[in-house]
A and B are shown apart, each in its own frame.
Chain A
Amino acid sequence: MTTKMFGAKVARVEDQRFLRGQGRYVDDLLTDDPRLLHSAVLRSPHAHARIVDIDVSDVLDLEGVIAVWTWDDLTGPMAEPLPLLIPHPTLTHGRTQYALARDEVNYVGEAIAFVVAVDRYVAEDAVSRIRVDYEFLKPVVGIAAARAAANAVHDDVPDNVGARMEQENGDARAAIATAPHTLTLDLDVERSACTPMEGRGTVARWDPDTSRLTVWSSTQTSTGVRGCVAAKLGLDLAKVDVVTPDVGGGFGVKINHPWPEELLVPLAAMTLGRPVKFTEDRREHFISSAHERAQQHHVEVGFDDDGRVLGLNVEFWHDHGAYTPYGLIVPIITSTQLLGPYKPANYRVVFESLYTNTVIVTPYRGAGRPQGCFVMERTMDAISAYLGKDRTEVRATNFIQPDEFPYEHGLVFQDGRELTYDSGDYPASLVKLKELVGWDEFEDFRAEMAAQGRKVGIGLACYVEGTGVGPYEGAHVHIETSGKVKVATGLTTQGQGHQTAFAQIVADTLGVRFEDVEITTGDTRKMPYAVGTFASRAAVMSGSAIHLAALRAKEKALRIAAEALEASEDDLEIADGVVSVRGTDASAGTRIDLGTVAVLSNPLRYAFDEASKAATQFSVGDPGKPPVAEDDEPGLEGKDFYSPPRSTFANGMHAVIVETDPDTAEIKILKYAVVHDCGNLINPMIVEGQIHGGVAQGVGGALYERMAYDESGQLLNASFMDFLMPYATEVPTSIDIDHLETPSPLNPLGIKGAGEAGVIPSAAVFAAAIEDAEGFPIMSMPISPSELFELRLAHADEPHPLTEESA
């Protein structure tokens, strides 16, 4: 009997190589190739300037320097702006940068020149010798400056507005005008960034013997990189292979593509006839990879005596940085996912996406949802405070009920499809959360702490996360004559344990030993059609595709086995890689292992091995027909694609108890609780790991991390010294997790995505808890002790404005 792998806490197979130091990340590749060259990029030290002249004359004199490129050296598509990956009709003024700046730079860090040398040290020496004359322009930094539009980022973009988008369900303004109660709130979130431990990196090798280009990139989409490299370098797609090796974390930043270096490295490799590597360093990561999160929101809400939202009108301003290569995905997600588990009777949202002279913005884990959740949950807390009601009660009043699924919001989601929730049970989740965090006992705890002179607060936040967005992923399952199962899926892996979770699916679906399954991801040689790993989609999309592909392989295996065993397919079962007639013992003639079935699947049957020899004892096929039937093909394989009608919607709720120091304003986490519903769990250990990581990243985003730009557009904290990623000492000492599993009806495994969830409610839940501890509203995140101290000063001698009216 094979043990069911789906749902089990299976130890990860990838860990063996990682733990032994045998992982292969991009910078590890080709290290023993003496022909390998290294590169460095000259980046703009100014936020906004015209390039008058670039002088590279001193560079090639330097021993060890091989070549240098500026925009003047680029030709054809390489000299054109980088692609705008995801256009949108409302993105009326989309702009992208050049691989190397042409005549203007728009952020500190924008690539200007590319140097190739014998090693990175010499390449950096060379970069420091390039002289650029700039004509300075006035920088636009921050949303306020962008909205004021005293200066323009791009001459041809009026008021710095790249896009304006509006959606409405019902008539929110009318509903607010007639509502018994109304509130307005202004809510801000600052910039942060993914900051994976491994930065970006690309290696390329042109093979003149086969006329093929191989590119290894630390990316979240190898097919995407392949497509753009081929297009930009003018190569046939068939000449380009892109392989994603081990990736040291992504969190979103590596889904944007092509980065300038992803094109310049292959260009240099082809031009120079030698392999070339680019490894981004930490400072570069801060100033030349993407950021996210900065948004300002204005909320008007109308509600009844129970706190039921009758009308919600949200305006917000999104800082997308200097260019818009990734379109409007982030603000569109905010505008739709803001609704969370609630069903306001009328909803209107309008946003402007604004240019600033800062690093570009592309999705960072959560992708606009943390801001949306912050807005909605702060609104729920404000309504509760105004009415003097328990915060969980007001939320429960507004929940979509379990019998209302599928629930249509009347809006269009990021994938261009209707925003329709598939399943969930929010009231049940809330019950679990209250229990887990001790919501009903908290006032006793508060009193106990107050008696000791200590201040504590509790907060909660709920979210719904559209996961598993399409359009598709595919998988190929190949059963070798050894019985080993080789599976390829095209999306990439950045630490999520896909090699384990996907193998669990295959083991169950096919009836083979988990150990016999090997998963390959992110290699365009094995699966040229794929999308990528983002939007918590890998398990839903590739997991489902792998399941379907394995079913096809199984179908074929049963057909061949039935013939060989002279049994009906319906009577066969597969367990531990052996097909047998159900209900029979192990006697000969009733069992055949999958390896042998694989041999039988191929009429070419050289007796290389024992399996092939064994296969000769079975006679298969009609001697009167061709060895490979008309509707068949040789080999035991299955290939399929999964393409869902729309996204799945995972959900969850977090609660936190914080203590704020009355003297120093330090903020300490006393308890953190998570209730999480991502449908059926493939590997609960991995899902909990994702939650842990998300919560820690959320703690960083709520209490520690921000991008500190000065007025001139210099990023003041472009290092791990000053960009304060949490250490073990800054995260909760434990995270209490409870799961609810409401299966998705949209895919065969009933799963929903889990990757981003942990980070979504963080800003909201910490703001709520700190507000509860302090008694004044927290409207801007992140918050530091210094800022909390300043707020205390501002609110000294002032009653709580949200409870004042209800008092």
Chain B
Amino acid sequence: MTTEQLHDVRLHVNGSVHEVQVPARRLLSDALRHDCGLTGTHVGCEHGVCGACTVLVDGTPMRSCLMLAVSAVDAEITTVEGLTEDDGTAQGRLSPVQQAFSDCHGLQCGFCTPGFLTTITAGLRETPDPTEDEAREMIAGNLCRCTGYQNIVKSVLRASEIVAERERGEA
């Protein structure tokens, strides 16, 4: 068996450049986790249904398990690790969506959470002040087995408030 050809791929993730060498079949989810060491993106089904692996590709939520790393060269990718806001500390400040999940008990085991956080981050840019129905619609493509979604819906609504509070300089 001949050696599988490796491709030099330059991935732009969370503002950093990762030069990786991967075979063409390497899924973006695996490249992020295993080649870039960004294990915050989780893999729950590898057929595009569960949404745990959702990352932002040029700001738009996409399934990283349904993209090839070689096909992501021209994109700016944001993973859960890139959501925190720079506040001068090493850790950074939780983004409004992250903070809302903490406030509202929007997670339990935390495995599906990164996909929800990325999805909602983009969703709130499009719908900054969602109704409860819109909040539910925003997360309707992500599976969670722990929370029953009740507190995730609340987190979406709370995140929208935090965005507004921070814009007003209240938080």
Contact = CB atoms under 8 A, between A and B. Distances in A.
Chains A and B belong together in one complex: yes
Interface of A: 11-12, 14-25, 27-28, 31-32, 61-63, 119-121, 194-198, 246-249, 251, 281-282, 494-497, 685-686, 688-689, 691-697, 719-721, 725, 727-729, 731, 733-735, 758
B113 interface: yes
Contacts of B108: 249, 495-497, 689, 693
Contact of A495 (B49, B98, B110, B150): B110
Contact of B148 (A16, A685, A693): A693
A197 B149 contact: no
A20 B98 contact: yes
B3 interface: yes
Given A692-B151, A729-B140, A21 B47 contact: no
A531 B44 CA distance: 28
Given A121-B25, A197-B144, A19 B101 contact: yes
Nearest 8 interchain pairs by C-beta: A21-B40, A495-B109, A248-B111, A18-B110, A696-B148, A692-B148, A21-B80, A720-B49
A731 B148 contact: yes
A249 B136 contact: no
Given A21-B38, A495-B109, A16 B136 contact: no
B136 A728 contact: yes
B150 A198 contact: no
B40 A728 contact: no
Given A15-B101, A20-B91, A721 B49 contact: yes
Contacts of A248: 42, 44, 109-112
Interface of B: 1-4, 23, 25-26, 30, 33-34, 37-47, 49-50, 52, 79-81, 83-84, 91, 94, 98, 101-103, 105, 107-114, 117, 132, 136-137, 139-153
Contacts of B147: 689, 692-693, 696
B145 A196 contact: yes
Given A11-B103, A720-B45, A728-B139, A21 B114 contact: yes
Contacts of B142: 727-728
Given A696-B149, A727-B141, A16 B79 contact: no
Contacts of B101: 15, 19
A727 B139 CA distance: 8
Which residue of A14, A27, A198, A758 has the most chain B CB atoms within 10 A of its CB atom? A198
B102 A197 contact: no
Contact of A694 (B30, B107, B136, B148): B148
Given A494-B109, A689-B105, 10 more contacts: A15-B101, A19-B107, A21-B40, A21-B114, A25-B42, A497-B108, A728-B149, A728-B152, A728-B153, A734-B150
A145 B114 CA distance: 44
A691 B3 CA distance: 52
A731 B46 CA distance: 24
Contacts of A19: 80, 94, 98, 101-102, 107, 110, 113, 117
Contacts of B52: 197
A448 B139 CA distance: 33
Contacts of A692: 147-151
A719 to B, nearest CB: 6
A18 B153 CA distance: 18
B1 A61 contact: yes
A727 B153 CA distance: 12
A63 B1 contact: yes
A392 to B, nearest CB: 26
A514 to B, nearest CB: 15
14 contacts: A15-B110, A16-B102, A19-B117, A21-B83, A22-B40, A25-B39, A31-B34, A197-B143, A249-B108, A249-B109, A689-B151, A692-B147, A696-B149, A720-B49
Contacts of A281: 46
A16 B103 CA distance: 11
A523 to B, nearest CB: 18
Contacts of B98: 19-20
Which residue of B91, B102, B142, B153 has the most chain A CB atoms within 10 A of its CB atom? B102
Contacts of A21: 38-41, 79-81, 83, 114
Given A21-B40, A495-B108, A727-B140, A693 B145 contact: yes
